[in-house]
Amino acid sequence: MNIKIKKILKKKNKSKIVCLTAYSKNFAEEVDKYADITLVGDSLGSVLYNYNSTKKVSLTNMIDHSRSVRLGVKKSLMVVDMPYDTYSSNNSAFKNAKKILKETKCDAVKLEGGKKIINQIKYLIKNKIPVMGHLGLLPQTAKGKFKSKGKSFKETKELINDALLLQNSGVFAIVLECIKTPTAKKITQSLKIPTIGIGSSVHCDGQVLVTDDLIGLNNTKIRFVKKFVSTKKYINLGIKKFSTEVRSKKYPSKKYSY
């Protein structure tokens, strides 16, 4: 087992896991300083390409951005999302996961779903491909308005069963997205492997956010997104200063000229 994955597993019930997204080398270098897991999420579809669904994200998109991210990741565990329709069968899952690992040199892949894709997950793990699970709100297959999960007894039972299935198949961690607090707590307490929440309460073993959201680059209005800093004002300030100096012929001075 990957040493970095072992470190993540050891954090269960001991210290919180920090997981953040990165889609390029520059962002990855900063994320890597603080994160335990750097995730190249298919959220890049909406963040970078303005897609209205992660279904539009291609394998090429994921591989290209992951190659860039790999250049900036030194210490954290690097996980790459397998995009929509790249793991519909055992063969396609293995072929595409192998391609991702080979071309990006990432540490693991992440797949969305439980019982419906358990055979694919088992097949990947049997063939020595590390997998992170993802339950609750599944953006790749969600229809209509995104809604939280785990409200009813039935939903809660299904989520717990799926989580145990994933654990028994050999995944090393599970992302819990938009799951009601009591249900997320139950799932976390039921598992020996870590849970990483996004909109699923403090009871998870760790938390993940889209980095562009937390630094205020996006105008995201989702309940679980907290803006920790407003980067846009600094970007605006730099660009404003540049434009002013160009127009007033202050830049480039001799210092910045050959």
Are both 108 and 197 inside the same structural domain?
A: yes
Are both 245 and 195 inside the same structural domain?
A: no
Are both 197 and 221 inside the same structural domain?
A: yes
Q: Please provide the average confidence, as pLDDT, over all residues in the chain.
A: 96
Total number of domains constituting the chain:
2
Q: What is the pLDDT of residues 33-71, one digit of tens each?
A: 999 999 999 999 999 999 989 999 999 999 999 999 999
Helix (H, G, I), strand (E, B) or coil at 173: coil
Are both 215 and 253 inside the same structural domain?
A: no
Count other C-beta atoms under 10 Å from residue 66's C-beta.
26
Are both 168 and 129 inside the same structural domain?
A: yes
What's the mean pLDDT in 149-155? 94
- Residue 145 pLDDT more than 80? no
Nearest by Cα to 211 from 37, 9, 8, 7: 37
Helix (H, G, I), strand (E, B) or coil at 197: strand
Confidence label for 142 from pLDDT (cuts 50, 70 and 90): confident
Instruction: Give the per-residue pLDDT at 1.
Output: 77
What's the mean pLDDT in 11-28? 97
Nearest by Cα to 219 from 232, 207, 208, 209: 232
Q: What is the pLDDT of residues 172-209, one digit of tens each?
A: 999 999 999 999 999 999 999 999 999 999 999 999 99
The pTM of the full predicted model, rounded to 2 decimals, is: 0.94
What's the mean pLDDT in 79-98? 98
Are both 57 and 84 inside the same structural domain?
A: yes
157 sits in which H/E element: helix 153-169
State the angle between helix axes of 90-104 and 118-126 in degrees (0 to 180), rounded to the nearest 10.
Answer: 50
Instruction: Give the per-residue pLDDT at 225.
Output: 85
Are both 107 and 169 inside the same structural domain?
A: yes
SS (H, E, C) 64-113: HHHHHHHHHCCCCEEEEECCCCCCCCHHHHHHHHHHHHHHHCCCEEECCC
Q: What is the pLDDT of residues 207-252, one digit of tens each?
A: 999 999 999 998 777 788 899 999 999 999 999 999 999 999 999 9
Are both 244 and 182 inside the same structural domain?
A: no
Range of the domain at 238: 231-258
Tell me the percentage of the chain whose pLDDT exceeds 90: 93
Are both 8 and 125 inside the same structural domain?
A: yes
Task: Please pick, among 29, 158, 177, 245, the residue that the annotation labels catalytic.
Answer: 177
What's the mean pLDDT in 144-148? 80
Residues 12, 182: Cα–Cα separation, whole Å: 19
Q: What is the pLDDT of residues 93-131, one digit of tens each?
A: 999 999 999 999 999 999 999 999 999 999 999 999 999
Are both 215 and 127 inside the same structural domain?
A: yes
Residue 29 designated active-site: no
CATH at residue 29: 3.20.20.60
CA dihedral angle for residue 67, residue 108, residue 2, residue 103, rounded to 10 degrees:
-30
Q: What is the DSSP letter of 256?
A: G
Per the CB < 8 A criterion, the answer to whether 43 and 49 are in contact is no
| Partners of 17 in beta bridges | 206
Q: Is the peptide bond before 194 cis (omega within 30 degrees of 0)?
A: no
Are both 69 and 123 inside the same structural domain?
A: yes
Are both 104 and 190 inside the same structural domain?
A: yes
Rounded (5°) CA angle 57-61-63:
130
